[in-house]
Amino acid sequence: MAVAAVMVTLVAHWLSVWVFYVLPEPMPGSVLAWGCVGTFAVFLGILGLRGVWAWRRLGIPLAVVAVVLLSAVQVNAYFGQYVNIGSLYDADTSGLPTLSRNDLRTPQGLAHATGSKLPAIQGWKAPADMPKSGKLFENSIPGTVSGFSARKAVIYLPPAYLVANRPQLPVMVMVAGQPGSPNAGSIQAISRTS
């Protein structure tokens, strides 16, 4: 039974990577191992349903679901994609306001070091009215050259960006891998701790 579970998992993995191109690259060994555990639980559950009392037929599917969920949690722990139940349903990115033209400010009005045109990252002092946390927005980025229709981008503006006399800030472009999707809740949590 265990050998069959391993074989089914490996064949499904091979088909997903090399035949149907569902996955862009082979999965790591720990992910495959937890996939084998979940598959093995399903096989045991199917075999366990034969010739048992009716009350045990209720418990076996529950046990199978518990083991499959445990396997899924362990796979998620490797990728770190879903940090809570809300991120599973994209609750941290649903209903975000669209980035407006007012939020896209030009470089004029940036804080500069005294007597210099260089950005004042080191000499810049945060004003007293600077917000405690940044803001999340979403916006469409048209694929004018490629013609690719992408999902909306999630944009995080840190607190220093939201003040009138802000320093020139770097831009980080973070692209979600596969499996993956933009996880804006993580961006905000990281920015609060740094």
Report domain extents, the chain: 2-79, 90-194
- What integer is the mean pLDDT of 20-37? 94
pTM assigned to the model: 0.64
The band of 117, judged by pLDDT with boundaries at 50, 70 and 90, is: low
Residue 142 has which token pair?
Answer: 């048209």
Tell me how far apart the alpha carbons of residues 72 and 76 are, in angstroms, rounded to a whole number.
6
* Cβ-contact 136, 149 below 8 angstroms: no
Residue 64 has a pLDDT of 96
pLDDT at residue 179, as a whole number: 61
- Highest mean pLDDT: which of 8-12, 74-78, 120-124? 8-12
Please list the alpha-helical segments (H only) found in 15-152: 29-48, 54-79, 85-88
- Tell me if 169 sits within 8 A of 160, measured CB to CB: yes
pLDDT higher at 77 or 106: 77
More confident residue, 174 or 122: 174
Residues constituting the chain = 194
Helix (H/G/I), strand (E/B), else coil: 99:
coil
Rounded Cα distance, 188 and 136, in Å: 8
Side chain identity at residue 152, one-letter code? K
Q: For the chain, percent helix, then strand, then coil, each to nearest 5?
A: 45, 5, 50
Q: Would you say the C-alpha torsion 11, 13, 14, 18 has a positive or negative sign? A: positive
pLDDT in tens, 124-139: 788 899 998 888 888 8
- Burial of residue 135, with CB atoms counted within 10 A of its CB: 0-12 exposed, 13-18 middle, 19 or more buried: middle
More confident residue, 125 or 190: 125
- Please tell me whether residue 160 adopts helix, strand or coil conformation: helix
d(CA 152, CA 98): 10
* Separation in Å, CA 134 to CA 39, 94, 126, 131, 139: 43, 17, 14, 7, 16
**So what's the pLDDT on residue 68?**
97
**Rounded distance between C-alpha atoms, residue 58 and residue 53, angstroms:** 9
| The pair of three-digit structure tokens given for residue 63, joined into one six-digit string | 């046990």
Stated as kind and residue range, the H or E segment containing 32 is: helix 29-48
Respond yes or no on whether the N-terminal peptide bond of residue 179 is cis (omega within 30° of 0): yes
